[in-house]
A and B are shown apart, each in its own frame.
Chain A
Amino acid sequence: MKWILLSIVVTATALSDLLQSHEMKRAGEQSVGARGLARLLKTIAMRRDLILSIVCLAISFFAFMALVQAEPLSFAVPASASSFILETVLAKLVLKEDVGMRRGAGALLVLGGVILLAR
C-alpha cells in the first residue's frame, strides 16, 4: 500500500507542477500585490489546466497525509522528495527547459539534503 500511496504523491505532484509551470508562463507575468492577487485568482478561475493542477495538488496532499499516517516521516519525506528528480527530467523533456549540469547537480544535492534532513 505504501508504494501505491507514494506513486500517487509523486505522480500527482509532478503533474500539478508541470501544469502550473506551463500555464503560468502562458498567462504572463503575475504578482501577489492587492491588484496582482485579484488578477491571479481570475487567471486561475479561467484556466481549466490550473484548476486541474490544484485538484492534483489536493490529491497529492491527501495521499501524503495517508502515507505519513501509515509510515514514518523519515520514509515519507525523502521518498516523496524523489519527485524533484522526476520533475527536473520532465521539465527538460516536456517543458523544454535548459537543465544544464549545474541545475542537475543542484537538484541532486538538494535531494541528498532532504534525505538527511528527514532522518
Chain B
Amino acid sequence: MTANPGMRFRTYSLLGLFVFLRPLGNLSLAWGTKHFPQVLSLNPAVYLRAMVDPFVALGIAMLILALLTRMALLSLADLSFVLPVTAIGYVLAALFGRVFLHEAVTIQQWLGTVLIFMGTGLVGTTSQNTTPNSKESK
C-alpha cells in the first residue's frame, strides 16, 4: 500500500518531531537530575522535589509530548516501520551527550551510529503503511 504525498509528509513531520523531542527530553532530564542537590532514592518526596526543578519538569513535559507524538505516528505508519526509523534518536542522543555533556564517543560507537543510519535508511525506503485501513466505521 503506497502512501500519498500528504500522508508521507505528515508521517515524516511527526517522525522528525519525535526524534528530536525524546533525546532533548532525556538531555533536559539528565541535566536537571545531575544538578539536583539530593540523591534520588526510593523516597517519593525526593522525586516530587526533583520534578519542581525547571530542567526536570521540562524534560518530563518533552517526554510526555514525545509519547503522544509516537502514538499519533502509529496511527499513520506500521510498527515495523516506526521501530527502526525512530532508532535514529539513539544517534542524536550520542551526539547531544558528546556536545552538551562532553561525553566521550568511541570509534566503536561511531560505527554503531553508521549501522543505525544504514538500517534506518533501508527501512525508510519501504512503504510506511502496509496494513489495510482498519479505521472503525462509525
Please give the residue numbers on chain A whose beta carbons come within 8 Å of chain B beta carbons, in ascending order: 17-18, 20-21, 24-32, 36-37, 40-41, 44, 50, 57, 84, 87-88, 91-92, 95-100, 102-103, 105-119
Bound-state CA distance A118–B109 (Å) is 7
Please give the residue numbers on chain B whose beta carbons come within 8 Å of chain A beta carbons, in ascending order: 7, 10, 14, 17, 65, 67-72, 74-76, 78-84, 87, 90-91, 94, 106, 108-109, 111-123, 125-127, 130-131, 134-136
Contact A116 B108 (CB under 8 A): yes
Which residue in chain B gives the minimum CB-CB distance to A41? Answer: B68
CB distance from B133 to the nearest CB of A (A): 8
Q: Which residues from B are CB-within-8-Å of A118?
A: 112
> Which of B90, B91, B94, B114 is packed against the most chain A CB atoms within 10 Å?
B90
Pick the 5 closest A-B CB pairs, nearest first: A116-B112, A109-B119, A113-B115, A113-B116, A117-B112
State whether A114 and B130 are in contact (beta carbons under 8 Å apart), knowing that A26-B136, A103-B81 are contacts in the complex: no
Contact B17 A113 (CB under 8 A): no
Q: How many A-B residue pairs have CB under 8 A?
A: 161
> Which of A25, A88, A119 is packed against the most chain B CB atoms within 10 Å?
A25
Bound-state CA distance A118–B115 (Å) is 13
CB distance from B64 to the nearest CB of A (A): 11
Show 21 A/B contacts (Cβ-Cβ < 8 Å), sorted by A: A20-B70, A25-B75, A26-B134, A27-B135, A28-B136, A32-B68, A44-B71, A91-B83, A95-B78, A95-B79, A95-B80, A102-B126, A103-B80, A103-B84, A103-B122, A106-B126, A113-B117, A114-B90, A114-B116, A116-B108, A116-B111
Bound-state CA distance A50–B84 (Å) is 22
Q: Which residues from A are CB-within-8-Å of B116?
A: 109-110, 113-114, 117
Contact A119 B17 (CB under 8 A): no
Contact A107 B119 (CB under 8 A): yes
CB distance from B72 to the nearest CB of A (A): 4
State whether A21 and B74 are in contact (beta carbons under 8 Å apart), knowing that A97-B130, A103-B81 are contacts in the complex: yes
Q: Which residues from B are CB-within-8-Å of A41?
A: 68
